[in-house]
Amino acid sequence: MPYIYAVYRENRLVISTGYDCLTWTEIKACQDQTKSDPAFDPEYDQLVDLRAVTSFKMNSEQARVLARRMIFSFTSKRAFIAANPYIVGVARMWEIFTELSDNPSQIRVFYDLPSALNWLGLRELPIE
């Protein structure tokens, strides 16, 4: 699966990582799995690593639906990292769709990991 996640309870963090071309179905399935994971808490923060994503296969309506799903709390911080300008644009669209939803969590888009970790209040990535 090109979109995976891991829950780090001690850090109150979910790390979601994408690879290659991500589809609407893959992202929705990962969201569903995350939400039903007994280790998951909607109050946790999220780091979404999109640096290895090459493209998305979904339309803007599908992106809006995914962004507006109530997975994380409005108090959660969600940092998206992307290096490719196209992927950054999609991440920013996700940020806007979330801000306009009934469940606007705090999303910021970053070009580098250290900036994203700093915003989340972390010094380094958790190690399993």
The topology under which CATH files domain 3-120 is Transcription Regulator spoIIAA (3.30.750)
Compute the distance between CA of residue 73 and CA of residue 2 in angstroms, rounded to an integer: 25
pLDDT number for residue 98: 85
Residues 67-96 pLDDT 10s: 888 899 989 999 999 999 999 998 998 888
Domain residue ranges of the chain, discontinuous segments joined by +: 3-120
CA atoms within 13 A on the CB side of 70: 5
Q: What is the pLDDT of residues 26-62, one digit of tens each?
A: 999 999 999 999 999 999 999 999 999 999 999 989 9
**Nearest Cα residue to 23 out of 51, 57, 49, 53:** 57
C-alpha separations of 42 from 61, 80, 90 in Å: 24, 17, 23
What residues pair up with 23 in beta bridges, in sequence order?
Answer: 57
Taking residue 98's Cβ as centre, other Cβ atoms within 10 Å add up to 21
Q: Is the whole-model pTM more than 0.85? A: yes
